[in-house]
Amino acid sequence: MIGCDAVHDGPPPPAATDEDGPGHALSLRRWARRRASVVIGLWLVLSAAAIAFAWIWGPGVPIEGRIEALLPEGDRSATDEPLVLLTLRADAPADRASSDTLLATAAAIGDRLGDERVPLAPPAGEAAAWFDAHALFLVPDDALDDLKVRLGDEALSAAVEGLRARMSSPLFGVGADEPRRDPLGLRETTRAVSGPFGQVDSLGKARATASGDLVDRHGTAVLLLLDSERPVQAVLDDVIAAIGDAPVDATLVGPVHVERVAREVVRARSLQVAAIALAALAMVLAAALRRVRATASILACLASAIAVVLAFVPTIDAWSLPMLVLLAGFACEGALHLQRISTRGWPAAAVLATALLPLVLAPYPAWRVWGWTWAFGIAVAVLLLRLVLPAIHARIGGEVSWANRGFLWHAMPVTSVLLSGAILGAGGWASANIRHRGADRIALAPIDAAQRRLVEEFFDPALVVRATSTGTDPAAALETTAADARVLAELVPTHASRVDSPGSLVLRTEEIDRRRAALTELALPTRMLTLREMLESRGFRADAFGEFLRTARIEDAPRAAAMLDGPLGPWLRRYRIETTEGAAFRSFVHLGPDPEAELPRPVAADGRALPLRGPAAAARRDRDEFRDWLGIYALCQMWLGAFIVWVGTRSLTIAMSAAFSTLVTQCAVLVAMAALRLPLGPTVLPGILLVGAAATIAAGRACRAIDLQRPLFATGLIVTSLCQVAAALALVASDVPPWRQLGIVVVIGSAVASGVGLFVAPGLCRALRRFARGEPPPPADAEGGDE
Amino acid sequence: MKLSRRSCLAGGGLALVGSALARAEDADDKRLQNRLELWANYAKRTNNLLARLTTTRETSLMQSPLVVTGQLVFQAPALLVLRDDGLSGSTTLLDGGTMAILPNQPTGRAGPALPRDRWPAAAWLADRLVALFAPGDGAAIVADSRVEVPRGGYRLDLLPPRNSEIRKVLRSVTVHLDAVAGAVTEVLIAEAQGDRVRLQLADHRQNVAAEDITRVLDEVNALRAAVERK
C-alpha cells in the first residue's frame, strides 16, 4: 500500500500558523485576531438580528411538510381538494352500523358544507338518466355494427326468449339483469363508456351514491371530496360538527393527508435530528480537537450560521431540514485548520459552496432553491468560522493548529489506477442496474389504515394524472374535452386503468350529426316497434320496458351545453378550472400501478399534445431522463470542482486528479447503493453531489501535499469526513425513510471520499504527471499552509 | 325507604313485561330449534336429491305470472342445479363459489356473469338455497340472517341483515317444510322491486343412484361448455 514516514501525529498542541507570518498581505484570520472585540461584537449583533428576523419580528420560520416540493408545480397534487373517508366506528350500535348511517352522515356533511363538498363521481341517478337518454350516441363507433346485428329480427327474438328463460331463475332479480332498462343486453357494448360514470363501477371497486360520493363495495366506508379555500382543519372541524353523535369517524386521506402527516413529522423530528447532529458533531470535534473551548466556539459559529440561513429560508420542510443538518456537518470543514489546496486557502470553500450549483438545472424545485441556498449557507459558515473563530480564540484561547504535522506519503500510481478503474467499472454497472425511486409516493411516515383503505377500496390518488382541455367558453371547453376524452380512452388498458372525464358523456356537434346519420340508418323507431310486438307476443307487458324503448329517440343528443345546464352541471365543478384564456376542464387518467411502465404521451385529434400532469407523470418523466441528467449534474460538479482546484493550484494534473477522485467516489457510492438495494432518485441527489465535493477537496489536499512533498495530515482529512458522517448519522437515526436514505448515501460517500483522497488521488496525480512529463514534480515550495 | 303505590305498580308491570318478553324470546328460540330439528331429520341423510320443481315468478314485467316446471338436483356437499324442462327455459347452477344462469337452448345468450363480490344479494340467496338441501345442523341456513318463525305452519322466514346492501335487493326468503318428513317443499323469495318467486318442490327422491344425478350433471356441464365456447 502507500508507504508513509511519520513526522509527528500526537495530540494537537495550540500553535501559531504560518499565516501569521509577514508573508501574507491579507489574512481574514490575522485581521480578526487583531480586532477580536469588534468581530465578536458584530457577530453577536448579527446573530441576534438573524434570530430576531427569523423568529421574533419577521414572519418566523414556519414548519411545513412540502413533501411534493421535488415535483414541478404543475405536477403536484391539489392542496385545496381534501378527501375525507367516513367509516363506521367499531363500537357503533348494531341497528346503526350500516351504510345508511354513512350515507345519512355524508348528506349531513353536504348540507353543512354546501358548495365546499364536490361530487367525486356523477350522482348515480342523474348519470344513469343521462346515459340512458343518450346511450346510442355515446357508444363507440365500432359498437354500432354490433348494435345493428342485435336489432335484427332474429336477434331480437333470441333476446326476448333468453330474457324469458332467465326469468325462471331465482337469481334473475338479484343479479346483473336489468330487464326494464336493458332487455336486449346492449349495455355489454356500452360498459366501456358507462363504467367510469357511475352506472355500476364508478371508481375502482366503489360505486357512486345518489349524491356523487363513493361508497365501498361492503358499504362500510364513504369517500367525500371537498374543495375549499379555508384551512383544511377548519373544514374538517365542520365535517366533525356535521357528524354529530352519529357513530361515524371522519379521517382525512389522500395527498392533503400525506402533506399533513409530513408536516407533523418535520415538526416532531426537527429538534430531535438537530440535537443528534449537534451531539455527534460535538463528540467528533471534542475527540479530534481535545479542547472544550475550541469545540464550543465552532458549534456556536455553526449555530449562528444556521440561524442566518434560516432567516432567509422561507420554511423548514421535509427537504430543508436534512439539508440544514448536512450544512452543519460539511461546514465544519472551514473550522478545521487543514492543509490548503492553494496559497490563499479558498478553493476548498469554493468547491464546497458550488457543490449543489448543478442542481439549478434540475427539474426539482426544492433542490433548485437549495443549489443557491447551500452556496449561501457555506459562504456564511466559512466566513463566520474564519472571522469569528480566530477572534474568539484570541480572546479566550483554546486554538488548535495542525500545521506542519502529518506523514510523508508516497503515492502508488499503479494501485490507484487499477483501483479507480475497478470502481469506475463497477459504478457503470451499478448505475445501469440500480432501482429508480421517483419523487412521487414519498411519505415521511408509514401509510395508516385509512390511507390504505383509500387505495384498496377506492383508488390510488398517487396514480391519478390530469389532462387539461381549454375553450373560449365552458361549452367549447367541454366539447374539446369530449374530443380529448376519446383519445385518452385509448390509453386503457395498456397504460391506464381508467379515464375519468366529463367529455366521455358529451359529443362535439359534428360528432352528433355524424352519429345521428348513422343511427337513422338503423331505423330505430321501427326496430323498437318490432321489439314491442315481440315482447307482447311472448307474454310480456311492453309498457314495463318503456324506459328502454324511449332510449331509441335520437332527437335528444348529448350536447355540452345541455350537460352544463342540466342536473349534471354541479358535478362538473370537480373538473372545471379557471384560466385566463377562457374555460378549461380537467380529465383524470388513472395510470397503471407499474412504476416502470412508460408514460403515455397522447396527441389530440387536431395534433395538439395532451400532456399528462401529476405526481406519477412527473416521476415517470423524470425516471426516463434521470440517469442522463445525473451524469450531467456530476459532470458539471466535476468540472466546477476541477476548475476551482486548477485556479487555486494552477496545476492541471491536480485538477484532473481531483476530478477523477470525484467520479470514483460517486461511482463507489452507486455501487454501495446497489449492494444495499437503496433506490436512486432525486431524494438522494444532493448527497451524491456533496460527497463528490468532499472527494474533490480531499483529493486536492492530498495531491497538493504529495506534489509539494509536504507532510499530509491524514487525521485532518478523516476528521472532516467524520464531521460529515456525524451529521448524516443524525439523518440515518431519524427513521424517516427519505432522510435515512440521504443520510446513508452521505455516510458512505464521505467515508469513501476521505479514503479516495488519501489512497487513490495521490497515485492518480503521480500517474498523470508521469504520463504528461515522464518525471516527478519539482520539490516543494513555501506555499500551502493550513486552512 | 318508602315506596309509593304507583312505583310498586310500575315496577311490577315492568317485571311482568320483561318476563313476558323473555318468555317470548325463549318460545321463538324453541320454535326455531324445533323447525331446524325437523329440517335436519331429512337433510342429514342427503347425499343427493332429485325433486320436481315448479317455479312461479309474479312480476310486473309479464301480463300473467310465469310458471315453469323443472327439476331440482342437489349433490352433497354444495352443488345445486335448478333445471327447467324444455329448451325455452334455463338452468341455474350453484356450485361452491359459482353462480350462473345458463340458457337451456345451447345457442342462447348466457346471462351476465355473477361474481359473488359484485352481487352480494345473489350470493346471500345462493348460500341459503344450497344450505337448505345440504346436510348440516341448520347453522348455514340462519347465518347472516334474521330469522322469524311464525306460530302456525312449518315454515321459516329468513331475512337479510337490517340496513344491509342485500336488504335493498331482497326482502325475505320463506321456507316451507314438510310437517312429517322435514323436507323443503316450497321456497318463496320476495324481491325488493316487487317480484315474488315461488319454488315448489314435489316428488322428493333422496339418495338416488349416482348415475341419475350424473346424467343431469353431464347435461349441465355440456351446456356450460357450450355457453363458454360461445
pLDDT of residue B70: 93
pLDDT of residue B22: 52
User: For residue B15, what are the contacts with CB-CB under 8 A and spacing of at least 6?
Assistant: none
pLDDT of residue A127: 81
Of B66, B68, B122, the CB nearest to A174: B122
Beta bridge partners of B206: B49
Which tens digits make up the pLDDT trace of A592-636? 888 888 899 999 888 899 999 999 999 999 998 898 999 999 999
Beta bridge partners of A407: A6, A712
pLDDT of residue A336: 73
Between chains, do A162 and B108 touch, taking CB under 8 Å as contact?
yes
Report CA-CA distances (Å) from A634 to A39, A664, A665, A666, B62: 38, 11, 11, 8, 78
pLDDT of residue A578: 80
**Res. A195: pLDDT tops 50:** no
Report CA Rg, chain B. 22
Interface ipTM? 0.88
Nearest C-alpha neighbor of A773 from the set A712, A707, A695: A707
How much of chain A, in percent, has pLDDT values that exceed 90?
Answer: 35
**Res. A200: pLDDT tops 50:** no
The mean pLDDT of B140-166, rounded to a whole number, is 85
User: Residue B30: which pLDDT band, with cuts at 50, 70 and 90?
Assistant: confident
List b or e across A187-216, with b for residues whose CB sees 16 or more CB atoms inside 10 angstroms.
bebbeebbbbbbbbbbbbbbbbbebbbbbb
Expressed in angstroms, the distance from the first to the final Cα of chain B is: 85
Highest mean pLDDT among A199-203, A309-313, A634-638: A634-638
Q: Is the CB of residue B105 less than 8 Å from the CB of residue B87? A: yes
User: Residue B13: which pLDDT band, with cuts at 50, 70 and 90?
Assistant: low
The cell numbers describing A313, all together, are: 429560508
Q: Is the CB of residue A638 less than 8 Å from the CB of residue A358? A: no
**Res. A72: pLDDT tops 80:** yes
The mean pLDDT of A24-35, rounded to a whole number, is 73
- Hey, how many other C-beta atoms are within 10 angstroms of the C-beta on A517? 10
User: Residue A662: which pLDDT band, with cuts at 50, 70 and 90?
Assistant: very high
The mean pLDDT of A430-446, rounded to a whole number, is 89
Q: Domain extents for chain B? A: 5-229
The mean pLDDT of A711-740, rounded to a whole number, is 88
Nearest C-alpha neighbor of A348 from the set A26, A781, A702: A702
User: Residue A12: which pLDDT band, with cuts at 50, 70 and 90?
Assistant: very low
pLDDT of residue A665: 95
B191: left (phi over 0), alpha (psi -120 to 50) or beta: beta
Distance CA B159, CA B168 (A): 11
Q: Is the CB of residue A481 less than 8 Å from the CB of residue A460? A: no
Contacts of A169 in chain B (CB under 8 A): 82, 90, 92, 101, 111
User: For residue A231, what are the contacts with CB-CB under 8 A and spacing of at least 6?
Assistant: none
Specify the CATH architecture of the domain B5-229.
Clam (2.50)
Report CA Rg, chain A. 34
User: For residue B203, what are the contacts with CB-CB under 8 A and spacing of at least 6?
Assistant: B51, B52
**Res. A201: pLDDT tops 60:** no
Report CA-CA distances (Å) from A356 to A45, A371, A685, A730, B20: 30, 5, 9, 21, 83
| A 177-216 → B contacts, CB under 8 A | 177, 179-180, 185, 188, 200
Which tens digits make up the pLDDT trace of A726-746? 999 999 999 899 999 999 999
Angle separating helix axes A652-675 and A413-433, nearest 10 degrees: 50
pLDDT of residue A663: 94
Highest mean pLDDT among A15-29, A326-340, A572-586, A608-622: A608-622
List b or e across B29-55, with b for residues whose CB sees 16 or more CB atoms inside 10 angstroms.
eebbeebbebbbebbeebebbbbebeb
The cell numbers describing A228, all together, are: 375549499
Report CA-CA distances (Å) from A418 to A412, A647, A696, B135: 10, 28, 19, 79
**Res. A503: pLDDT tops 60:** yes
Residue bearing the bigger pLDDT, A665 or A80 = A665
CA distance B4 to chain A (A): 36
pLDDT of residue A639: 94
User: Residue B113: which pLDDT band, with cuts at 50, 70 and 90?
Assistant: low
Beta bridge partners of A190: none
Would an 8 Å CB–CB cutoff place A168 in contact with chain B? yes
Average per-residue pLDDT in chain A? 84
Contacts of B66 in chain A (CB under 8 A): 164, 167-168, 539
Distance CA A649, CA A647 (A): 6
Q: Is the CB of residue B128 less than 8 Å from the CB of residue B141? A: yes
**Res. A188: pLDDT tops 70:** no
Contacts of A161 in chain B (CB under 8 A): 88, 105, 108
**Res. A472: pLDDT tops 60:** yes
Of B61, B103, B165, the CB nearest to A541: B61
User: Residue A190: which pLDDT band, with cuts at 50, 70 and 90?
Assistant: low
Would an 8 Å CB–CB cutoff place A158 in contact with chain B? yes
pLDDT of residue A204: 56
pLDDT of residue A48: 85
Cβ-in-10-Å burial (0-12, 13-18, 19+) of A740 comes to middle
Contacts of B101 in chain A (CB under 8 A): 166, 169, 171-172, 175
pLDDT of residue A191: 56
Phi and psi (nearest 5°) for A269? Answer: -95, -10
Residue bearing the bigger pLDDT, A536 or A181 = A536
CA distance A245 to chain B (A): 19
pLDDT of residue A5: 37
Name the H helices within chain B.
Answer: 5-43, 120-133, 139-142, 210-229
Between chains, do B109 and A162 touch, taking CB under 8 Å as contact?
yes
Contacts of A217 in chain B (CB under 8 A): 117-118
pLDDT of residue A566: 87
Which tens digits make up the pLDDT trace of A762-782? 888 888 888 776 545 544 444
Using the structure block, give the residue that is written with the C-alpha cell 357508444. A139
The mean pLDDT of A11-22, rounded to a whole number, is 40
Cβ-in-10-Å burial (0-12, 13-18, 19+) of A685 comes to buried
Highest mean pLDDT among A9-18, A366-375, A535-544, A763-772: A366-375
> Among A169, A178, A194, A216, which would you mutate to test the B interface (most chain B Cβ atoms within 10 Å of its Cβ)?
A169
Report CA-CA distances (Å) from A538 to A101, A535, A723: 43, 5, 89
Of A168, A218, A539, the CB nearest to B84: A168
Question: Closest-CA residue in chain A for B198?
Answer: A170
Q: Is A742 helix (H, G, I), strand (E, B) or coil?
A: helix
Would an 8 Å CB–CB cutoff place A547 in contact with chain B? no
User: Beta strand B155-159 with A207-208: parallel, antiparallel or unpaired?
Assistant: unpaired
Residue bearing the bigger pLDDT, A70 or A63 = A70
Question: Closest-CA residue in chain B for A100?
Answer: B163
Residue bearing the bigger pLDDT, B189 or A649 = B189
Using the structure block, give the residue that is written with the C-alpha cell 344450505. B131
Highest mean pLDDT among A176-190, A227-241, A515-529: A227-241
Distance CA A485, CA B120 (A): 33
Between chains, do A99 and B59 touch, taking CB under 8 Å as contact?
no
**Res. B184: pLDDT tops 70:** yes
Nearest C-alpha neighbor of A471 from the set A589, A570, A565, A564: A564
Report CA-CA distances (Å) from A224 to A82, A109, A255, B111: 8, 9, 14, 34
**Res. A196: pLDDT tops 60:** no
CA angle, A557 as apex, A555 and A559 as ends, to 5°? 145
Which tens digits make up the pLDDT trace of B50-101? 999 999 999 999 999 999 999 999 998 889 999 999 888 899 999 877 888 8
